[in-house]
Structure 1
Amino acid sequence: MDDKTVKLQINEKPKWNQWLILSMQHLFAMFGATILVPVLTGLNPAVALLSSGLGTLAYLVITKGQIPAYLGSSFAFIMPVIAAMSLGGPEGVMVGTFAAGIVYGITSLLIKWTGVQWLMNLLPPIVVGPVIMVIGLGLSTTAIEMAMNFDDESGQYVQPMLHFSVALVTLAITIIASVFFKGFFNLIPILFGITGGYVMASFMGLIDFSEIAAAPWLRTPEVVVPFATFTPDWSWSIIFIMAPIALVTLAEHIGDQLVLSKVTGANFVKKPGLHRSIMGDGAATIIASFVGGPPNTTYGENIGVLAITKVFSVFVIGGAAVIAIAFSFVGKMEALIASIPGAVMGGISILLFGIIASSGMRMLIDNRVDLGVKRNLIIASVILVIGIGGAFIEINENLEIAGMALATIIGIFLNWVLPGKEYGFGNGAMFASLEEQLKDDDDEAA
């Protein structure tokens, strides 16, 4: 990276009159996606903002202020969180979120002690790609039910064409912003879509503004704190629903670190180390479990902001985290988010869940995984049908392994027992890049 193109280096502080504006850019970039996850899953959006800010600050501390990454609500956990909500409510979700954070922590320690090769062998593209596809496709019914206003009590759609028209307008605005807008605006299509859909929904009479008017300006977020607001019930079914998904998001995490290193010109895989960045993700997710937020992960949207602005300062990222925490105490902001109609969220979700599924397909394509190889075709096929079909294994009345978690476990098992493991990596593009970065410092020393 040419230093002349960099506006602020990683450890540089911005001038006081620029700091707020630069941090607000990152807040806008993450805002739509971060509030979308709790709205879709039934968690509290204000608490999600709080946990996002606290988690990002913890991440910056754990990575020694050397990685300018913002953490927000993870899309990969949408389906597991919805399942956990049905089993144990928000309290159950917090148990599962804590378990996912522990998986991050254990993985971080193993990488520090033994290196990353074992993780690469456990999660080749032929396993991770189809599981990511399951995450998106498994939620497709949820997106359509929101878009067309499905009523759970009656089991019927209520005014489906009215709501679907709002969803389609929301979808159209999001697509236009994503394809035609340039620069920073290209990074916040979800925010544009929600705003445009909200305006149309208000004209259609689908929004009740009385709750917003009645909400106080300042209000403490409704946190869910273990041993304070509830006593944790360690449901193994919930743990097995959520914890294995952390293995899948680890592959996404590695990809984000490689992109972030490329954008900034630093080598974060070597310094402060992949183990520290994964531990930072784990700490952020554990913090979320202590306040009632969804699991957290590093955000590609904010990496995009870094690439456009060439402002790499961790102080700017920290400023965005502090602003997010402050926003979580604004009662009218919480009421405004709560008033967003399901049709608007459905319109966003049609695109978002499809993009998640397509990202899994892209992982297979980018790594040139050959589905003409029978073992690859078998692994992908089994993962897709088990994950989307909703298969489950009931071990006892307190333990059930279902859906995406079961698909992940079976995919890992099949990859382990079937011959020809090398075919599961394709050309290994992502992992080859990882190995290259791991060797960089050693080559320079030589």
Structure 2
Amino acid sequence: MQQEFNDPLWRTVLSGAQMLFVAFGALVLMPLITGLDPNVALFTAGLGTILFQIVTGRQVPVFLASSFAFITPIILAKGQFGLAATMGGVMAAGFVYTFLGLAVKIKGTGFIDRLLPPVVIGPVIISIGLAMAPIAANMAMGKAGDGAELIHYQTAMMISMPALLTTLIVAVFGKGIFRLVPIISGVLVGFAMAFYFGVVDTAKIAAAPWFAIPHFTAPEFNWQAILF
């Protein structure tokens, strides 16, 4: 058993599983914040991940999820142009990503490094993190992203704090294979605490259909929304 866990394949599986948990949270949170359909995000992320693994020959244990960089533009574009035009703008951004990928494959990463040096990328990442910090704090306190209370404060803290402490302890003091899974450890502890305090609603899980078609929105290509 010890030899199996020391096998690189197990490390790849664990790394991929942890990436799945991390990306899944972001994947569902992003459409909830922007008012989009999480089921569509799940479907497209799964399809995109399958295509990514096929193209890369399964060399990277990655699960593709939502980009938090799009949260503010999507919210503003929805209010100004509507959902369909906003989806058209998102598709146009996806095509730009594709063309940039082809350019990197042909020319290498040199022009990207010149166009977007660390001094530019760093502040963008910092601003995204600072914008998400209040949402994370609200969720830890049992509130929605807009501050509306979902769970009593004390109950929420009894769930979120053990999960956070478990993640930190495993990340800092974990040995061997356990050091690879701090996020999974925190998720398991958080779910166990949520189940203990009766926060997990199994009735909705039981009532949910096994198979359902997501509510797709046909994109509308509006030049103003695309440029926005």
Q: TM-score, normalised by structure 2?
A: 0.72
Contact 1:47 1:223 in 2 (8 A): no
Partner amino acid, structure 1, of 2:155: L
Is residue 27 of structure 2 the alignment partner of residue 38 of structure 1? yes
Q: Distance in 1 between matches of 2:188 and 2:76?
A: 30
Is residue 220 of structure 2 the alignment partner of residue 230 of structure 1? no
Q: Distance in 1 between matches of 2:129 and 2:164?
A: 16
Contact 2:39 2:214 in 1 (8 A): no
Contact 2:24 2:65 in 1 (8 A): no
Cα distance, 1:27–1:120 mapped onto 2, change above 3 Å: closer
Q: Distance in 2 between matches of 1:33 and 1:134?
A: 20
- Structure 1 equivalent of residue 207 of structure 2: 214
Match of 2:164, SS state, is helix
Query: Whose relative contact order is higher, 1 or 2, with alpha carbons under 8 Å and at least 6 apart?
Result: 1
Q: Distance in 2 between matches of 1:137 and 1:153?
A: 15
**Coordinate RMSD, CA, aligned:** 3.6
Partner amino acid, structure 2, of 1:223: P
Cα distance, 1:98–1:116 mapped onto 2, change above 3 Å: same
Q: 1:238-317 maps to which residues of 2 (within 5 A)?
A: 239=226
Partner amino acid, structure 2, of 1:37: A
Contact 1:79 1:139 in 2 (8 A): no
Uncovered stretches (5+) of structure 1, i.e. residues with no partner: 1-6, 9-18, 241-398, 400-446
Match of 1:69, SS state, is coil
Is residue 173 of structure 2 the alignment partner of residue 180 of structure 1? yes
| C-alpha deviation, 1:32, in angstroms | 0.7
Match of 2:152 among 141, 159, 179: 159
Is residue 62 of structure 2 the alignment partner of residue 71 of structure 1? yes
Partner amino acid, structure 1, of 2:211: R
Cα distance, 1:151–1:158 mapped onto 2, change above 3 Å: same
Q: 1:105-124 maps to which residues of 2 (within 5 A)?
A: 105-124=98-117
Structure 1 outlier segments of 4+, above 6 Å: none
Q: Distance in 2 between matches of 1:239 and 1:186?
A: 43
Partner amino acid, structure 2, of 1:232: P
Contact 1:148 1:160 in 2 (8 A): yes
Cα distance, 1:40–1:68 mapped onto 2, change above 3 Å: same
Render the CA deviation track for 1:346-403: whole Å, top value 9, x for unaligned: xxxxxxxxxxxxxxxxxxxxxxxxxxxxxxxxxxxxxxxxxxxxxxxxxxxxx4xxxx
Larger Rg: 1
Match of 1:102 among 91, 95, 98: 95
Match of 1:137 among 113, 130, 133: 130
Cα distance, 1:106–1:190 mapped onto 2, change above 3 Å: same
Q: 1:382-393 maps to which residues of 2 (within 5 A)?
A: none
Q: Distance in 1 between matches of 2:206 and 2:91?
A: 36
- Greater fraction strand: 1
| C-alpha deviation, 1:114, in angstroms | 4.2
Q: Distance in 1 between matches of 2:225 and 2:131?
A: 18
Render the CA deviation track for 1:285-311: whole Å, top value 9, x for unaligned: xxxxxxxxxxxxxxxxxxxxxxxxxxx
Contact 1:32 1:191 in 2 (8 A): yes
Cα distance, 1:173–1:210 mapped onto 2, change above 3 Å: same
Partner amino acid, structure 1, of 2:27: P
Contact 1:32 1:190 in 2 (8 A): yes
Q: Distance in 2 between matches of 1:187 and 1:154?
A: 33
Is residue 121 of structure 2 the alignment partner of residue 128 of structure 1? yes
Partner amino acid, structure 1, of 2:178: F
Match of 1:233, SS state, is coil
| C-alpha deviation, 1:118, in angstroms | 2.0
Matched-pair identity in %: 29
